[in-house]
Amino acid sequence: LAKTTQPISMDSYEGQEVNITCSHNNIATNDYITWYQQFPSQGPRFIIQGYKTKVTNEVASLFIPADRKSSTLSLPRVSLSDTAVYYCLVAEANQAGTALIFGKGTTLSVSS
């Protein structure tokens, strides 16, 4: 199982860019990196997913270096509504199925 390590918490102010870094030293060749956002008492919401280099969508960017042992989720110009728990996952994918292994995530607090 590829484990991930990310900061327990981060604080930011509205309008700032937030970068959350995750380390996954034991990532396997077939594994890909996925980030989810979760608000209290709601299901996790898919943010972004990537295998290598850079991926960007309308919500965030994901930077993955060549060795793939870490990744960085970048949230541009955060707002109060971005206050949530962010999970970095390395999906353990095989032909028997894919189990998402969640850690405790990073609690992001955005203040005005």
Partner 1 sequence: DAGVTQSPTHLIKTRGQQVTLRCSPKSGHDTVSWYQQALGQGPQFIFQYYEEEERQRGNFPDRFSGHQFPNYSSELNVNALLLGDSALYLCASSRQVVAGLAGVWTDTQYFGPGTRLTVL
Distance from the Cα of residue 56 to its chain's centroid = 13
CB of 103 to partner 1, least distance (A): 6
Stretch 70-99 residues interacting with partner 1 (CB under 8 A):
87, 91, 93, 95-99
Name the phi and psi angles at 103, rounded to 5. Answer: -95, -150
The residue (of 8 and 66) whose beta carbon lies closer to partner 1 is 8
CB of 26 to partner 1, least distance (A): 18
* CA 40 – CA 43 distance, rounded (Å): 8
* CA 28 – CA 84 distance, rounded (Å): 28
Under rule CB under 8 A, residue 112 binds partner 1: no
Stretch 1-60 residues interacting with partner 1 (CB under 8 A):
34, 36, 41-46, 49
Count of residues near partner 1 by CB under 8 A: 23
Reading the block at residue 103, the tokens are 């850690």
